[in-house]
Amino acid sequence: MTWDWGAVADFMPHFRDGLLVTLQALVLGSLISFVLGLVWALLMRAPSRWVRWPVGAATEFVRNTPLLVQLFFLFYVLPEWDITFSALTTGVVAIGLHYSTYTMQVYRAGIEAVPVGQWEAATALNLPLRRTWTAVILPQAIRRVVPALGNYVISMLKDTPLLMAITVLDMLGEARLFSQQNFQFTEPLTVIGVAFVLISYPASLLMRALERRLVR
């Protein structure tokens, strides 16, 4: 087996397309999971169990079924009810939703880790509940959970190839297509392997830097 730089060069335009899709899925999926996870975590602290119960059951269900199954469900079943999105949108929503059931646990831990004295000080200053959350509790909780959220971003990155199952051509999708058309497997697969490392390693460095800045 010989390494063919020509194949690498031929793959590059396809690689760029795939990279763009992977990054889109990663960034949008992360944003959705960060926001939704926080929403779930807050709803789970609602005074009424008629809120906590359904949210708890639904997120438990999503967390305990495979992402691949959820992708298929959203992609093939929703259209039967006349709900259709593009494949990439469906994928991004599925990844974001799936991971939000993990990030909610992270937020929960972060919120619980804020000392009770902070709540008491807010009460003593007569701060309204909403302000207590936005100015006192969440800034401290989120600061604590950035490293854990970062781990899920890396995890999400490594799950983006699953999008191939619903016809989205991410990096792996492009590599596979190229390989099958040109009978050259080594070069494209190596290129995307390196690309995954080149994305995730700086991402984890960034998270560590952020952590050092935020955790006080």
Partner 1 sequence: MSADTTPAKDPGATGTGNPPVDGSELIRFDHVTKRFGTNTVLDRLDFSVDSGKHVTLIGPSGSGKTTILRLLMTLTKPDEGTIRVGGQYLTHEERNGRLVPAGEKHVREVRRNIGMVFQQFNLFPNMKVLRNVTEAPVTVLGLSKDEAEARARELLDMVGLGDRCDAYPTQLSGGQQQRVAIARALAMRPQVLLLDEVTSALDPELVAGVLDVLRDIARSTDITMLCVTHEMNFARDISDQVLMFDSGRVIESGPPERIFSDPEHERTREFLGAVR
Residue ranges in contact with partner 1 by CB under 8 A: 115, 117-118, 120-121, 123-128, 131, 135-136, 139-140, 143, 216
CB of 124 to partner 1, least distance (A): 4
Q: Which two tokens stand for residue 106?
A: 């992270």
Nearer to partner 1 (CB atom), residue 8 or residue 127: 127
Q: Which C-beta is closer to partner 1: that of 68 or that of 210?
A: 210
Task: State the nearest-atom distance from the C-beta of 125 to partner 1, in Å.
Answer: 4
Considering the complex, what minimum distance in angstroms separates the CB of residue 128 from partner 1? 7
* Closer residue to partner 1, CB minimum distance, 24 or 118: 118
Which CB, 2 or 48, lies closer to partner 1? 48
> Quick check: 92 and 187 in contact, CB under 8 A?
no
Minimum CB–partner distance for residue 105 and partner 1 (Å): 22
HSE-CB of 93 using CA atoms within 13 angstroms: 15
Nearest in space to 38 (alpha carbons), one of 132, 155, 141, 158:
141
Say if CB 168 and CB 88 are below 8 A apart. yes
Alpha carbons 118 and 158: distance in angstroms, whole number: 38
